[in-house]
Amino acid sequence: MKTELEYKWSAGTYEDFSRLVKTSRRFGASAGPEDKMRNRDYYVDTHLAQLRQAGAAARIRNCGQRWEFTYKTATSFSGGLARRGEQTVALDCGTSSEALKLLKTGGLRSPELDLPFEHFEEIFTIDTRRYQRMIEMPGGTRALASFDDAKINVGEMEGHLCEIEFEFVEGNEQAFKNFAKKVSVTAELKPVTMSKVAAARAMQDGKIKF
């Protein structure tokens, strides 16, 4: 299981992401070409919310013709940096219902994923339009910068949230942290108050409305 390291910053519009990219260049980084994609995520849990109680999350993702299952462990935070374990497995299916059936009937087995697959059910969806660029910092450390424009659906409820992610890809972790700190301060980016998944769960609980 790999370790995911990322910063999440609040965003109002794409212009906030553009400012991040421009600021990164000011500090000597190069920005790769912009990729645009659309992800539809079907989050799953048991009816007893066992994953949520453990601080974890699991999703089925459709990205074009590709389907995959991702499990994320509980997240720890330090200085605004999120750190969690992440395991992704490709799924051979064509719809979300086929993917869920595959999980529930034992079609996915991994020694690192001891999960209650047979009890999984869909709990909410997040439909995201993503714009991303690879940022290479001086010295060669790389991070993936993304702007997410997301629509959250929980039953009949619908919400909308934008955020910027800055995820460590390779290189020196401390260089990544230092660069993220100075770029976010200069670009006037603030840490998110609520992630997409946290917002969906708050909607489930009736704590927020969009």
What are the DSSP calls for 46-102, one per residue?
A: -TT-HHHHTT-EEEEEEETTEEEEEEE---EEETTEEEEEEEEEE---SSHHHHHHH
Query: For all residues of the chain together, what is the average pLDDT?
Result: 95
Nearby residues of 78 by Cβ (< 8 Å), 6 or more positions away: none
pLDDT at 14 over 80: yes
Q: Are the CB atoms for 94 and 13 separated by under 8 Å? A: no
Q: Over range 100-106, report the average pLDDT.
A: 93
Tens-place pLDDT, residues 198-208: 999 999 999 88
Cα distance between residue 131 and residue 147, in whole Å? 5
| pLDDT of amino acid 163 | 97
**Tens digits of per-residue pLDDT, 130-183?**
999 999 999 999 999 999 999 999 999 999 999 999 999 999 999 999 999 999
Model pLDDT, residue 19: 98
* DSSP-assigned beta bridge partners for residue 88: 70
C-alpha span between 75 and 169 (Å, rounded) = 18
Whether the per-residue pLDDT at 112 is higher than 90: the answer is: no
Q: What tens digit of pLDDT does each residue of 37-86 get?
A: 999 999 999 999 999 999 999 999 999 889 999 999 999 988 789 999 99
CATH level 2 (architecture), domain 2-198: Beta Barrel (2.40)
pLDDT for residue 144: 99
Please determine, for residue 210, whether its predicted confidence score (pLDDT) is greater than 80. Answer: no
How far apart CA 141 and CA 62 sit, in angstroms, is 29
197, 43 in Cβ contact below 8 A?
Answer: yes
Distance (Å, rounded) from C-alpha 10 to C-alpha 17? 10
The closest of 88, 85, 84 to 59, measured between CA atoms, is 88
What is the pLDDT at residue 129?
Answer: 98
Residue 66, CB-side half-sphere exposure with 13 Å CA sphere: 10
pLDDT at position 12 is 94
In this prediction, residue 102 carries a pLDDT of: 93
Looking up tokens 């212009």 gives 15
Determine the straight-line distance between the first and last CA of the chain, rounded to whole angstroms.
35
